[in-house]
Amino acid sequence: MAWIKVEHTLFSKVEVFQLASKLNITRQEAIGHLVNFWVWADQNTEDGRLIGDRKVVDTLTMENFANELIKVGWLDIIGGHIEIPKFLLHNGASAKRRALTAQRVANHRKRNSNNDGVTDKLLYNTILNNKDINSYSEDPNIEKVKELWNESNNPKIKAMTNKRKKAIKAILKDYHIDQITEVFKKIPLIPFLNGDNKYKWKCDFNWIMKPDNFIKLEEGGYDTQTNKENDFNKWGDE
């Protein structure tokens, strides 16, 4: 059965108040337009990115709705594409599978609320060791980020450690996979990041995926970087 995620707190979110105020509508109407837009997006994309512009969104909702969504951070229009931030976190396929798994566990616990806890433990271990269910919690974009890095940068990633997965997930919360691709493509073009510095240091994946380093690179902070001694955190944790 198709569905989308709508949090209980949506009605009281500041963004909803802002939408209602700017568009001169009630919060109920704002939420109705949001749900209508999100249902359409869920039917037409798996990653929150679709071909379109503000007119498409306004046609589905109301005049100027797209502009206000952009202002509150719930929509991006980039290069002729509609992008919904954090779509995979809330309504992507993996998010839905996680939610369904959690619901199955909750239903099972409710049915067996009078047992001695043994059944719950067995169910937990079954889920923990079931590769199919476990795979639901793995964002496919994590592997995609690894592939993108290896396509254009060195040294290549071989082991996808939990620490690296955690770093990727942190970046994916704020950046679309296409934005990460563009950042990776910039690295070979910046001499400073490829050994043209006092220490002959070259950046690697672990360094780039630190939020401060990634943001600076994405915003162009290294585009004209010099080889000054203190221009980078060479000794930071990797």
Q: What is the dihedral of CA 51, 71, 73, 17, to 10 degrees?
A: -120
Q: Which residues on neighbouring strands pair with residue 176, listed in sequence order?
A: none
In angstroms, the Cα distances linking 37 to 3, 48, 64, 119, 192 are: 13, 12, 13, 42, 44
pLDDT tens for 168-194 read 998 988 888 888 998 999 898 888 888
Give pTM, 2 decimals.
Answer: 0.43
- Cα separation of 218 and 183, whole Å? 6
The amino acid sitting at 146 is: K
Q: Between 143 and 24, name the one with better pLDDT.
A: 24
Q: Give the closest residue to 33 by CA, choosing from 52, 46, 15.
A: 15
- Cα separation of 16 and 73, whole Å? 11
Backbone angles phi, psi at 227, to 5 degrees: -105, 30
The DSSP symbol for 78 reads E
pLDDT tens for 27-86 read 999 999 999 998 898 888 878 888 989 999 999 999 999 999 999 999 999 888 999 887
- State which H helix or E strand residue 198 sits in: none
Helices (H), 112-139: 118-129, 131-136
- Cα separation of 139 and 177, whole Å? 12
Q: Can you give the residue ranges of every domain in the chain?
A: 8-88, 93-135, 140-218
Q: Give the closest residue to 146 by CA, choosing from 136, 134, 163, 159.
A: 159
